[in-house]
Amino acid sequence: MDKRTFLKRAGVLGLAAMHAELLVSCLTTTDEKGVQKNWVWRGLKKETTPAEWQEELAALRKNGITGVFFGGFDEVVFKLAKKEGLETHVWMWTLNRGEAYVRENHPEWYTLNRKGESCFDQPPYVDYYRWLCPSRTEVQEYLLKEVEKFAREPLVDGVHLDYVRYCDVILPRALWEKYDLVQNEELPEFDYCYCEVCRSKFKEQNGVDPLKLENPPANEAWLQYRYDTVTNLVNKLVERIHQHGKIVSAAVFPTPEIAKKLVRQDWVHWNLDWIFPMIYHSFYEEEISWIGQAVQEGTQALNGKTDLYAGLYLPAFTSVEEWKEGLEQARGNGAKGMALFGKLSAEQWDAFYQFIDKA
């Protein structure tokens, strides 16, 4: 890549970051012809004008971006994106939801921890952690209507599911100090869900109330029940979205085992088109080589069922050489592409585009 081309790309991406509501993320895939695809995640900031959107989207497309995961749906913005030839997917928070409608009308939908505390009025860790219970038929129907609302839109190419899990029963190791916690075991205040619906359904299947178990965190049947509630919900959402001919993808925790242990995600059994494990090595106090190990674990577990794209956390790379190593670790161990979260320096963008050119 010549210097002029690189500076043009870097300047455009700087413009995109300036307008972004959330940190910009970029992921790469290939289409059926093997052509490289590049994506960004983008929040829908209301104060961004149509003219600003048009400028940003046109610039992104001219500099190699082929699709956007938008944080919601806006007809004007999606039309502008389509005009530029960009793919448009809705990025949807799934079970972590605190919208006014649910909080004002259905406080009973929120999960309860082992102490009997509800996410409705006692959210764990941070205020926006308000998790709906996937066991409840009413919650499932509400989310099915939500995804169908997006999938029915002609301007929407797909739905990207995020926060489709239980609350973190154990945080990634590097976050313990942030919250002044030691989580060598499953603490009752972070262990969900023990609502009446979950307890009743589990007892019906297994003959015992989970609160009466001698050691709930170690009970395999109780663990499996919660893996299955999320899996069943995801697969229902996938089926509904597929009925409208749209793509379904999801952001998940980094490996099958970590996902199950920390957030009750058994994503190997989800019927997705694409899956994006967030392989943020610094969160787990791991070396860069762990990225390759995590990708390998995921691809082997999926066994070709779903395409896997590696999520990388840019602030964790302290040099361009580390960044290059992370990219190679992911691709060399079977990732179909990358999901990049954070801000890239000029040198990182240069290395990334060189990496794409070699694909």
* DSSP secondary structure string for all residues of 297-334: HHHHHHTTSSEE-EEEEGGG--SHHHHHHHHHHHHHTT
**Pair 187, 176: CB distance under 8 Å:** no
Please choose, from the candidates 296, 300, 307, the residue with its C-alpha nearest in 3D space to the C-alpha of residue 270: 307
Alpha-helix residue ranges (DSSP H) falling in 178-317: 196-206, 220-242, 256-263, 289-302
* Digitized pLDDT (tens) for each residue of the chain, 359 residues in all: 433 343 344 444 444 443 433 344 555 555 555 555 677 778 898 889 999 999 988 877 765 678 788 999 999 999 999 999 998 999 999 999 999 999 999 999 999 999 999 999 999 999 999 999 999 999 999 999 999 999 999 999 999 999 999 999 999 999 999 999 999 999 999 999 999 999 999 999 999 999 999 999 999 999 999 999 999 999 999 999 999 999 999 999 999 999 999 999 999 999 999 999 999 999 999 999 999 999 999 999 999 999 998 888 989 999 999 999 998 999 999 998 887 787 778 788 778 778 876 66
Using CA of residue 74, residue 16, residue 25, residue 175, what is the dihedral sign?
Answer: negative
Using CA of residue 308, residue 314, residue 315, residue 319, what is the dihedral sign?
Answer: positive
CA angle 240, 123, 180 (to 5 degrees): 125
Say how far apart CA 336 and CA 352 lie, in whole Å: 15
Say how far apart CA 19 and CA 43 lie, in whole Å: 9
Partners of 159 in the β-ladder: 90, 248
**Taking the model in full, what pTM does it have?**
0.89
pLDDT of 224: 98
Q: Please compute, for residue 200, the number of CA atoms within 13 A of its CA located in the half-sphere on the CB side.
A: 5
Max Cα separation, the chain? 69
Tokens of 98: 């605190």
> What domains does the chain contain, in order, with CATH numbers?
3-93+136-168+223-357 (3.20.20.80)
SS3 at position 248: strand
**Pair 281, 191: CB distance under 8 Å:** no
Beta-sheet pairing, 158-162 with 247-252? parallel
> How many other C-beta atoms lie within 10 A of the C-beta of residue 30?
13
Q: How far is CA 73 from the centre of its chain?
A: 17
**Pair 295, 261: CB distance under 8 Å:** no
**Pair 40, 25: CB distance under 8 Å:** yes
Distances in Å between the Cα of 44 and the Cα atoms of 21, 78, 135, 341 are 7, 10, 31, 17
pLDDT of 4: 36
Say how far apart CA 316 and CA 278 lie, in whole Å: 13
> How many other C-beta atoms lie within 10 A of the C-beta of residue 126?
8
Q: What one-letter code names the amino acid at 234?
A: V
- Burial of residue 358 (CB within 10 Å: 0-12, 13-18, 19+) is exposed
pLDDT of 106: 98
CA angle 297, 228, 99 (to 5 degrees): 100
